[in-house]
Structure 1
Amino acid sequence: MTKLLLILNVLFASQTLNASQAPKAMVWIKPGIFTMGSDDKDAKKDEKPAHLVRVDGFFMDETPVTNRQFKEFVDATGYITTAEKAPTLEEIMAQVPIGTKEPDPSKLIAASLVFKPSDGPVPFYSNRFWWEWKGGADWKHPTGPESSIDGKEDHPVVQVSWYDAEAYAKWAGKRLPTEAEWEFAAKGTHDKKYVWGNEEFNEKDPQANIWQGKFPYQSSKNEGYYGTTPVRKYPPNENHLYDMAGNVWQWCSDLYHHAYYEAEAKKGVSINPKGADKSLDPDEPYAEKRVHRGGSFLCHKSYCKGYRISARMKTCPDTSLNHLGFRCAKSKE
């Protein structure tokens, strides 16, 4: 962090709250200015340019929302998640170019996307080689109807869409964090590449739950975990937040636009940015997408270093996957 940023952040220190003032299982993230994005060699185009952002103080959940917490919400409200409802043909066709062939009606079922290891090395140009549209997969059955969350109450909830995450956050009296808030909370006061520092991931002494071995067909994990792990299994970051790298990707409130940072950088200092006004992913221009952050148990340096603090990912808000969850934020009242 530059000397200027250090001075500016000292000026915000008066807004710091005592830990006792934070809601249960939340952490106060004091306000400050930080460098968002990255010009590092590993950074993708949509992470550039690095630019200054000022964020007001806010509360952040210590961990991703767990299966236990999400079940409390469902039990209290009777909420039915996106994956538990069959998509309509109209919903599907609205996200693809005009003239696209309609999907087989047999695919229009209550289902979700589940990771399926390949039999061996596959090309990385398309993730279709390791994802499967599986009927009966939902938050209670993360990898299909034969699976269960029994014994995994403290694992992050997965197979939740952006809409599901929004509904939970509203019920809990919270909200989803903005992308800027998420990155600021992950980074802490030091400008570093990973939540644990600048050293690379160590498979012999892992700092987070990411893929170990050869992706996407051979896992060398020696701890008995192939997918998610319980929250708090790995050390927290500087802000005492757990699982800000790996385990599950985490939904943010922002719409995704591939050139959003270019516009924000022109402001000098972007103040409490809320995301793009409209979504645009050049790879799928007809589909609206929302941002998610943090990487997951499927990230590996050979394909996806999404566990880097500045790494961005985007997905349609009605999508659910077995490596995608969320955590909540809350503004100071």
Structure 2
Amino acid sequence: MVPVLPVVSAGAQHHAIEQAHVPAQVFAMGDGRGDGRWSDGELPVHPVSLEAFDIDATSVTNDDFARFVAATGYRTEAEVFGYSAVFHLAFTGTREDVLGRPPQTPWWLGVRGADWRHPGGPGSDVTRLGDHPVVHVSWNDAAAYCRWARRLLPTEAQWEAASRGGLDGARYPWGDELGGRDGEPGWRVNIWQGVFPTENTVEDGFLTSAPVRTFEPNSYGLWQTVGNVWEWCADVWAEDTYAIDQQRGTVHEPAGPTARSEDAVRVMRGGSYLCHDSYCNRYRNAARSSNTPDSSMGNVGFRTVASR
């Protein structure tokens, strides 16, 4: 289901996020470090060329999304459906608010009343989270924001080039090592520390999301492309996208497979505050994941690129 976006005047459109410029380039797209899972489709590494583009320096925040909602009256799919997925340690509500939990991932709760305004459930709000990334937004919700703002979701090729910050082949936006600058102790990314999913030692300072300008930006000026929250991309998901692209040589501006229906599964990039090596090391430049376009949860947001 694609929500209908209310008609608003052009003067109401306002996208105030600082822009980072990504220069035209050819880069090696994919996992050249052997970190990914075969089912994530991060191989083969293949050359991709892109024209220069501008991208949001940060994820879209709660404050940014609130301006969109105030201008349009838009209701997210989580609000329409009446529930969304909340990590169990972030849940704020009563037992009656829990609608269920998937047997394969019991750390996720289906929570009545969870949405972008209530990220932990009906007992939470975003009053003090204006500079945190908006979450509980589906791909369809992100696309609706883009239509209002006259922006686009990035292709996953654009997303990966922007996240790499010019460090071709690097594991992370700052290089190959997870620790602090120049090998010093410390954290440069918001992910899980401890024993997943029961104990987070919060060594990086955050149980769930962090403000979008936490840690340091990469060399292009982008903040927290890995960790913190997953980010929706424009592309339709397929495991064999890279294998098909490699057969074409250097691919210019790849946009992924063609969507055959409105329900086509979409790409997510960057990992989140729940990533941990024991089950998910997707807080990397090359990491890929996916979900249905109407899905929402407490660790997925988005950023946008300028339309041409």
- TM bucket (normalised to shorter chain) is 0.7 to 0.9
| Alpha carbons 2:190, 2:204 under 8 Å: kept | no
Partners of 2:104 and 2:224 in 1: CA distance: 24
| Alpha carbons 2:264, 2:293 under 8 Å: kept | yes
Residue-pair matches, total: 275
| TM-score, with structure 1 as normaliser | 0.79
Larger Rg: 1
Partners of 2:17 and 2:227 in 1: CA distance: 24
Question: Does 1:158 find its partner at 2:135?
Answer: yes
Q: Give how far 1:170 is off.
A: 1.4
| Alpha carbons 1:256, 1:278 under 8 Å: kept | no
| Alpha carbons 2:26, 2:47 under 8 Å: kept | yes
The partner residue of 1:249 within 221, 230, 250 is 230
Question: Does 1:232 find its partner at 2:227?
Answer: no
Residue of structure 1 in register with 2:197 after alignment = 216
Residue of structure 2 in register with 1:306 after alignment = 282
Q: Give how far 1:278 is off.
A: 4.4
1:292 to 1:57, Cα distance in 2 relative to 1, 3 A: same
Q: Give how far 1:226 is off.
A: 1.1
Residue of structure 2 in register with 1:143 after alignment = 120
Partners of 1:301 and 1:240 in 2: CA distance: 27
The partner residue of 1:115 within 57, 67, 87 is 87
Residue of structure 2 in register with 1:183 after alignment = 160
Partners of 2:88 and 2:222 in 1: CA distance: 30
Q: Give how far 1:222 is off.
A: 4.3
1:58 to 1:234, Cα distance in 2 relative to 1, 3 A: same
The partner residue of 1:267 within 243, 248, 259 is 248
Task: Describe the SS at the equivalent of 2:152.
Answer: coil
Partners of 1:37 and 1:76 in 2: CA distance: 39
Partners of 2:267 and 2:211 in 1: CA distance: 24
| Alpha carbons 2:231, 2:301 under 8 Å: kept | yes
Partners of 1:35 and 1:136 in 2: CA distance: 43
Q: Give how far 1:117 is off.
A: 4.5
| Alpha carbons 2:17, 2:58 under 8 Å: kept | no
Partners of 2:289 and 2:297 in 1: CA distance: 13
After superposition, give the CA deviation of every residue in 1:81-108 in whole Å (9 maximum; x if it has no partner).
000112xxxxxxxxxxxxxxxxxxxxxx
Question: Which residue identity does 1:64 align to in structure 2?
Answer: S
Task: Describe the SS at the equivalent of 2:224.
Answer: coil
C-alpha RMSD of the superposition: 2.1
1:76 to 1:52, Cα distance in 2 relative to 1, 3 A: same
Residue of structure 2 in register with 1:324 after alignment = 300
Q: Give how far 1:224 is off.
A: 5.0
Q: Give how far 1:194 is off.
A: 0.7
Unpaired stretches in structure 1, ≥5 consecutive residues:
1-22, 87-109, 119-124, 281-286
Question: Does 1:29 find its partner at 2:22?
Answer: yes
Residue of structure 2 in register with 1:258 after alignment = 239
Partners of 1:278 and 1:169 in 2: CA distance: 18
Residue of structure 2 in register with 1:85 after alignment = 80
Q: Give how far 1:223 is off.
A: 6.0
| Alpha carbons 2:132, 2:212 under 8 Å: kept | yes
Residue of structure 1 in register with 2:178 after alignment = 200
Question: Which residue identity does 1:148 align to in structure 2?
Answer: D
Q: Give how far 1:126 is off.
A: 6.6
Q: Percent identity?
A: 42
Residue of structure 1 in register with 2:273 after alignment = 297
After superposition, give the CA deviation of every residue in 1:299-326 in whole Å (9 maximum; x if it has no partner).
1111111111100010000000000000
Partners of 1:142 and 1:300 in 2: CA distance: 21
Task: Describe the SS at the equivalent of 1:128.
Answer: coil
Task: Describe the SS at the equivalent of 1:171.
Answer: helix
Residue of structure 2 in register with 1:69 after alignment = 64
Partners of 1:213 and 1:116 in 2: CA distance: 16
